[in-house]
Amino acid sequence: MGKINPFPDKNVFVAAILLALSAVSLACGQVVNRPAVENFLIEGEVGKAQRILESYLGSADLTYPDSVYILKNLGVLYSSSPKRKDLGDRYFFRLLDLDPFASIHDTYASNTILARFKKIRKSYQAQKGGKALVPAVVVFDFHGDGIKTSDGIALSQQFIAEMQRLDVFHTLDRSSVVETMEKMRIVPEKCLTKECRLDIARRLTADKLVTVQTTRLDTVFTFTVAYLDVETGEVSTSLTKVYTKRPEKLMAEGFGELALDLQNHEAAFLNLSVSPVNTVLTIDNSPMAVISSRVPLNPGKHRICGSSPGYETECKDFEVKRADALTYSLALPVKAGTTVQASKLSSEDESDEDEPTSEPGETPASHRFVWWTLGGMAVLAVTLAMAFNTKD
């Protein structure tokens, strides 16, 4: 007796699998049927994958991750067609509007498409300025003499945490690097050359990468930080820091000072004063929690706006270069007909009331003339008295 095929109809089997995977997607809060899309891409059915993705466009039920997933995959799929590259570019621009730090490393993008997306992102940064200027930074594990692999991982994660506190950097999690290396079948401790790390950073669509060469002699740690441009491979900043601490204390205190030093070399600074003091500020449409006299910014174009009750909103567009320091005073004009203007006029009236009042028909000028006359006569009387006393 022959064996019984539990799935006599292959299509029924595939449909059952896709249905199960769709249920998992919904359970995870995803609207897009990602398993179906992935299945069509694996089978080479690009057109069907595109139609599924486009069917969700405009849906009010889409989550933020769903929107990112749709735009990045449509961008990649259309960019792979020579006749539809322009449409792919438009999807990439929409993706960057949604997430200026978006990456397509987790798609089926070829190196050519990755390079195209990188070029689009650079153009987008120049056009938009502001938050779009923040570079995506990838930090590789610390390595060097006297450092165990596990210690290098722990130190890099501590440094990443400090970098992520600074607004002038968009520092990627270490997990992004590890996942990319796994896809490329590269062991992290084997990727120590500049070429290997630049390749990983480009796959992640990073703008900058950080490498840290470490040497240890007992409790003396020397860290040499190199900050590289991913596109050119050139080092823009190199720092060396020496710490005399035990590893556990070094881990507890972190690398805040090292991260700030890197910021001071790469950022521009806005020296700001505002009036009135209760002005609410935004920089590049992001609110400033605290008004600081020295604000770090990424090189490029920015906009600062200030508002306060009773005052006109004032905005200023400006551009800064790396390591520049721009000094600016933002003074808001008073709104006409407001309580602020009324109180200002009232204070002026009160100051006028403190001056001597005039009798009817008299002017302040006549008062001043009388006082000057009396003063002059008093000086003359004193002078004559001294003259007579001298003769005697």
User: What is the per-residue DSSP string for 127-158?
Assistant: HH-GGGGSPEEEEPPPEEET--HHHHHHHHHH
- What does the pLDDT read at residue 85? 92
- What does the pLDDT read at residue 186? 92
* Cα separation, 383 vs 262, whole angstroms: 75
**What would the two tokens of residue 134 be?**
């923040």
* Cα separation, 121 vs 128, whole angstroms: 10
* Cα separation, 119 vs 114, whole angstroms: 9
Q: Which residue has the tokens 């070429």?
A: 195
Question: Could you report how far apart the first and last alpha carbons of the chain are, in Å?
Answer: 158
Q: CB of 88 within 8 A of CB of 104?
A: no
- What does the pLDDT read at residue 16? 45
**What would the two tokens of residue 202 be?**
């480009």
**What would the two tokens of residue 68 be?**
């990112």
* Cα separation, 229 vs 77, whole angstroms: 28
Quickly count: other Cβ atoms within 10 Å of residue 143's Cβ: 20
**What would the two tokens of residue 288 be?**
């400033």
Going by the DSSP 8-state scheme, the letter that residue 311 receives in this structure is B
Q: CB of 93 within 8 A of CB of 116?
A: no
**What would the two tokens of residue 5 be?**
């095929």
Residue 216, exposed/middle/buried by CB under 10 A (0-12, 13-18, 19+)?
Answer: middle
Which three-class secondary structure state does DSSP give residue 327? Answer: strand
Q: CB of 69 within 8 A of CB of 32?
A: yes
Question: Following DSSP, what letter does each residue of 150-199 receive, concatenated?
Answer: HHHHHHHHHHHHHHTT-TT-EEPPHHHHHHHHHHTT--GGG--SHHHHHH
Which amino acid is it at 91?
Y
Which of the residues in the chain have pLDDT under 70? Answer: 1-30, 289-293, 339-392
- What does the pLDDT read at residue 238? 96
Going by the DSSP 8-state scheme, the letter that residue 255 receives in this structure is S
Q: CB of 245 within 8 A of CB of 222?
A: no
- What does the pLDDT read at residue 59? 87
Give the residue from 177, 214, 225 showing the smallest Cα distance to 199. 177
- What does the pLDDT read at residue 350? 54
Name the region of 300 (left: φ>0; alpha: ψ -120 to 50; beta: rest).
left
Which amino acid is it at 128?
K
Going by the DSSP 8-state scheme, the letter that residue 8 receives in this structure is S
Q: CB of 280 within 8 A of CB of 306?
A: yes
- What does the pLDDT read at residue 26? 44
Kindly give the pairing relationship between strand 314-320 and strand 300-307: antiparallel
Q: Which residues of 224-238 are buried (b: 16+ CB within 10 A; e: fewer)?
A: ebebbebbeeeeebe
* Cα separation, 259 vs 163, whole angstroms: 6
Who contacts 209 (Cβ-Cβ below 8 Å, separation ≥6)? Answer: 137, 138, 139, 140, 197, 198, 201, 227, 228, 230
